[in-house]
């Protein structure tokens, strides 16, 4: 008989909030360093440091034997999904304001809520589905399909990158819920860091000398393909901080989605939206345009509604059977 996933909502919420705080700080550092280093170099250094720290968590949760898994291909697929999510999102950060990219990325909790039905068998009623639809309307508004290329200031491709990141991130977290039945959070964090190291090493071997960046004018492609350089002493401090953050992010998010329902913990990731606006204003002097504010309001409102419906449903079910709405 298959083991059912546990559901510890309060602990899951605690871990997802810790992960989101670390992600917000990490995004700010990535954008800050995007003008001088290639993305794959930042990812490699961050993940190399992160995997060392994650091995300490492995020791705390049972030792190296917990790295053994009967589902290596599924863990590899999960790792690839989060690599694609990060690469797309960080490439977008190099070309657009932090708050704009973050707001578009926050379609992820909506996608998690939607896909938790076919992938995890979780129940989502019509009211929550309507809220998800409103959230996606916010994504469309932020894409500004009516605007010309000159008005957008970034290419349509760049605007799509955070949405691709949201989709692959959502799939990754749903797989975390499925695989977390038999895997510890620290082991899943190590698998992810290893995936980052493998992919970024491949980028270095193919494009580490910067040959493919020559003649490019797209900031996202330049960030992805510029040559590796040795970091300055000052930047090493931030790179080590990013590595520690990587370990915190990998562990906290793996633990959150491993021990609690995806539809319950996902809305708490919206804490990252006001944090992104704050970082963008304090560090980069950016404030969102009107369309972005509208999109943020729709996405945040729909996400909070989904969460409140989940809590209401849980209270009613605890009292007795109820007809789902």
Domain ranges of the chain: 26-317
Cβ burial, residue 271 (10 Å; 0-12/13-18/19+): middle
Task: Supply 107's token pair.
Answer: 């379609």
Closest Cα partner for 28 from 96, 107, 95, 93? 93
The sign of the CA dihedral 66, 197, 81, 247 is: positive
Q: Calculate Rg over the CA atoms of the chain.
A: 20
pLDDT by residue, tens only, the chain of 325 residues: 445 455 677 888 889 999 999 988 888 888 888 888 999 999 999 889 888 888 888 888 788 888 888 888 988 898 899 999 989 999 898 888 888 888 888 888 788 888 878 877 777 778 878 888 888 898 888 888 787 767 767 788 888 999 999 999 889 878 877 786 677 778 888 888 899 999 999 999 999 898 998 888 888 889 988 999 999 988 999 999 988 888 888 788 888 877 887 667 777 877 888 888 888 888 888 888 888 899 888 888 887 777 676 666 655 554 554 443 4
Query: How far apart are alpha carbons 190 and 247 in whole angstroms?
Result: 8
Query: How far apart are alpha carbons 221 and 90 in whole angstroms?
Result: 11
Closest Cα partner for 283 from 35, 15, 17? 35
Whether the CB-CB separation of 90 and 223 falls below 8 Å is answered with: yes
> What are residue 33's phi and psi, to 5 degrees?
-95, -5
Query: How far apart are alpha carbons 22 and 24 in whole angstroms?
Result: 5
Angle subtended at Cα 162 by Cα 158 and Cα 163, rounded to the nearest 5 degrees: 110
Whether the CB-CB separation of 190 and 54 falls below 8 Å is answered with: yes
> What are residue 90's phi and psi, to 5 degrees?
-70, -35
């Amino acid at each position: 008989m298959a083991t059912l996933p546990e559901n510890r909502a309060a602990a899951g919420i605690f871990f997802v909030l810790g992960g989101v705080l670390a992600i917000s700080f990490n995004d700010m550092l990535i954008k800050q360093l995007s003008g001088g280093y290639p993305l794959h170099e930042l990812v490699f250094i961050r993940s190399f440091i992160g995997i060392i720290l994650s091995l300490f968590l492995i020791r705390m949760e049972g030792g190296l034997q917990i790295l053994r898994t009967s589902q290596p291909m599924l863990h590899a697929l999960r790792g690839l999904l989060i690599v694609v999510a990060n690469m797309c999102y960080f490439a977008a950060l190099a070309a657009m304001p932090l708050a704009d990219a973050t707001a578009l990325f926050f379609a992820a909790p909506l996608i998690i809520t939607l896909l938790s039905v076919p992938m995890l068998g979780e129940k989502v009623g019509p009211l929550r589905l309507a809220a998800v639809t409103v959230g996606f309307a916010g994504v469309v508004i932020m894409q500004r399909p009516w605007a010309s290329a000159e008005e957008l200031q970034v290419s349509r491709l760049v605007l799509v990158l955070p949405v691709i990141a949201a989709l692959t991130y959502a799939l990754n977290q749903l797989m975390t819920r499925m695989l977390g039945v038999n895997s510890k959070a620290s082991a899943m964090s190590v698998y992810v860091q290893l995936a980052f190291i493998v992919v970024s090493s491949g980028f270095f071997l193919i494009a580490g000398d910067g040959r493919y960046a020559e003649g490019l004018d797209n900031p996202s492609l330049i960030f992805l393909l510029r040559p590796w350089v040795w970091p300055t002493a000052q930047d090493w401090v931030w790179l080590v901080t990013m590595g520690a953050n990587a370990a915190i992010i990998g562990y906290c998010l793996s633990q959150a989605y491993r021990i609690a329902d995806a539809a319950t913990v996902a809305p708490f990731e919206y804490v990252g939206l006001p944090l992104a606006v704050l970082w963008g204003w304090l560090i980069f002097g950016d404030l969102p345009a009107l369309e972005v504010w509208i999109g943020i309001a729709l996405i945040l409102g729909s996400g909070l509604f989904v969460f409140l419906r989940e809590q209401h449903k849980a209270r009613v079910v605890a009292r007795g059977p109820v007809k789902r709405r």
